[in-house]
Amino acid sequence: MRTGRALLPLVAWPLACGVALAQTPQPAGTAPAGGAAAAPYVMTMGDMMNTLIQPRHNKLGLAGKAENWALAAYAATEIRQAFAGIVKAQPKFSGMPVGELVDVAINPPLKALDAAIKQQDAAQFAKAYDQLTQGCNACHMELNHPYVVIKAPDASSFPNQDFSPKR
């Protein structure tokens, strides 16, 4: 079996790019050899929205538009899980409870999307997806970010993914 050789590029690539896969814990009060201790990067709300939510919103819309119901169901689960992670990572943003904002603005349209996906109803999906998008924008308005306007994707930003259903 050649598993070790097959995994070598997967391990070597991050190291070549300067990304550590794991760090050896340092004793308290000491710095790693060669310099000061590095502070861990903490993602901002913008980071989490741009890396976790926006791509999933995009993929959900593209999957529904293609009537790929299996992919749409998967994308809905992914966006729901991403929001759950964000609520845990940052329970408050700008003094507002993130979980409550998600409950009001995001969860009802996601339930409607689930129903549309289950029924494989493209018109119902489009309506629920629009409600989800409006929920995103309402949340942005509530948090004094009216300049962050989300819309349904015009085209795929994922040229390496086929959104057509596989039957």
For residue 83, give the amino acid letter.
F
Task: Give dist(CA 50, CA 104) in Å, integer.
Answer: 21
Sign of the alpha-carbon dihedral angle for 96, 98, 99, 101 = positive
Note the pLDDT of residue 6: 44
Taking only the tens place, the pLDDT of each residue in 33-88 is 666 778 899 999 999 999 999 999 999 999 999 999 999 999 999 999 999 999 99
**Which pTM was predicted?**
0.76
Domains of the chain with CATH codes? 45-142 (1.20.120)
